[in-house]
Amino acid sequence: MRACVCLPTYDERENLEPMLRALGEVLGPDDRVLVIDDASPDGTGELADRLAGELPFVDVLHRPRKEGLGPAYLAGFRRALDAGAQLVVEMDCDFSHDPADVPRLLAAAGDADLVLGSRYVPGGGVENWGLVRRAISFGGSLYARLVLGVPVRDLTGGFKCFRREVLEALPLDRVRSRGYAFQIELTYRALRQGFRVQEVPIRFVDREAGGSKMSRAIVLEAIWKVPLLRLGRL
């Protein structure tokens, strides 16, 4: 397997099928998509199983309960590595990350160990967000960048491509973060270990179907965990 796109879902029934079909249009013959469903009560998991029977590039990982984005991704990463993936992509299922950008991230991994789809480099941006959401996102990335002392401009983004060597080297068993902090932590640990990190511009578009998973707890987690990362206490 060349690449595995890890696609965590919780109540994404409206978005799942169009997302999988869109990914099928841009992925290569040696690429796969792994749907990681946290027992969605809206039937997303059952739909994923049906689509996996129809679409040969789709696999499904069922988890018994909702535990947050970080644990879902970690489970997906382990499954992808066990399956032999050389590149592992993480992205949202709600079309805030454009599936047409996946080939750009995969291509950039030829010159980098970790590729970040970045909203805050020239050419990147966000659409359909209000002022408060923009402030939280940009402010969170700026806060993490200043506290951690790293040059990455979009530390909170969740559209990434890892070379397998990065995930094999990171202490995934020690990662306990769930939301923004999870994205910050993995990128920071990769930088600390000397891996090459590259940002490529993307346009982030707010979801049109389903509900946002953003919460006050996710924001607060990032605020208190970032200084602990810098102090080496995580």
**Chain segment 181-206, per-residue pLDDT in tens:** 899 999 999 999 999 999 999 999 98
Summary mean pLDDT of the chain: 91
- For 210-228, b where at least 16 C-beta lie within 10 A, e where not — what string? beebeeeebbebbeebbee
Which positions ≥6 away from 83 have C-beta within 8 Å? Answer: 1, 4, 32, 59
The letter for the amino acid at 191 is L
Dist. CA 66–CA 85, nearest whole Å: 25
Instruction: Please give the pLDDT value at position 110.
Output: 96
From the list 163, 6, 161, the residue with the least C-alpha distance to 74 is: 6
Indicate the pLDDT class of residue 63, thresholds 50, 70 and 90: very high
Residues in the chain, how many?
A: 234
**DSSP β-ladder status, 3-9 and 160-163:** unpaired
| Residue % of the chain over a pLDDT of 90 | 73
Q: What's this model's pTM, rounded to 2 decimal places?
A: 0.92
Q: Decide: 126 and 203 in contact? Cβ < 8 Å.
A: yes
CB atoms within 10 A of CB 231: 9
- What does the block give as tokens for 79? 């499954």
Mean pLDDT of the 144-160 span:
93
Radius of gyration of the chain (CA): 16
- For 56-82, b where at least 16 C-beta lie within 10 A, e where not — what string? ebbbbbebeebebbbbbbbbbbebbbe
